[in-house]
Amino acid sequence: MPRPIVPPGQCKKAEDLTAYFYRAQEKLRKEHNRMGEKYRNGQITKEEWLTYLAEEFEPANDEIIAGILEARAELKDQDKWDSNIPIA
């Protein structure tokens, strides 16, 4: 069972959530690389590697991406940083 990706309580604004989820994605990438190295070095079996990918990495990655997309959608609706770029 994958561990849930739950932002801390102080992450309420889209900007904070975006930063949180990008940091979580980077940490997950590093964990993935460590596990891949263990597999390449024979420290874990192919079955353990594939189980990690299916049961840990992919669900966590999907959850992180969903969090990023949700925060991004909220940010896209903000006009705080409107630009003067001409749009046809």
Q: How far apart are CA 51 and CA 20, in angstroms?
A: 26
pLDDT in tens, 40-66: 999 999 999 999 999 999 999 999 999
Q: pTM here?
A: 0.81
Buried b (16+ CB within 10 A) or exposed e, 43-63: ebeeeebeebbeebbebbbeb
- Structure confidence at residue 68 as a pLDDT band (50, 70, 90): very high
Q: What is the pLDDT of residue 77?
A: 75
With H, G, I as helix, E, B as strand and everything else as coil, classify residue 48.
Answer: helix
State yes or no: pLDDT of 69 exceeds 80: yes
Q: What is the pLDDT of residue 88?
A: 61
CB 69 within 8 A of CB 11: no
CB 85 within 8 A of CB 71: no
